């Protein structure tokens, strides 16, 4: 789907890693790792919503490749947030 060193893959990988790290820190602070799915969903939602204005700014700056990468990343993170929050609410 993505080429090996494409901007889309780099941006998506970094955003998912950041969302997972944030979720782990919040779950450890909550002293219960059973809610890591919920925290991952919330952090993915936050990062996905931040990616949209970043994409607009990058498009205005003239980098179409990275603007497209941030939009793809935002869409996939928003999709992941819905899936993980929905499944964690269903299984708790």
Q: What is the pLDDT of residues 29-87, one digit of tens each?
A: 877 677 888 889 999 999 999 999 999 999 999 888 899 999 999 999 999 998 888 88
Tell me the whole-structure pTM to 2 decimals: 0.86
Residue 90 has pLDDT above 80, yes or no: no
DSSP string, 24-47: HHHHHHTT-GGGHHHHHHHHHHHH
Q: Give the closest residue to 18 by CA, choosing from 52, 45, 53.
A: 45
- Tokens standing for residue 84: 């993980």
Rounded to whole angstroms, how far apart are CA atoms 66 and 23? 25
């Amino acid at each position: 789907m993505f080429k090996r060193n494409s901007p889309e893959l780099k941006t998506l990988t970094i955003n998912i890693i950041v969302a997972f790290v944030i979720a782990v820190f919040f779950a450890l602070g909550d002293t219960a790792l059973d809610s890591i799915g919920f925290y991952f969903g919330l952090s993915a939602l936050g990062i996905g919503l931040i990616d949209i204005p970043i994409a607009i700014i990058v498009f205005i700056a003239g980098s179409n490749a990275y603007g497209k990468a941030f939009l793809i990343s935002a869409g996939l993170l928003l999709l992941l947030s819905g899936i993980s929050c929905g499944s964690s609410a269903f299984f708790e």
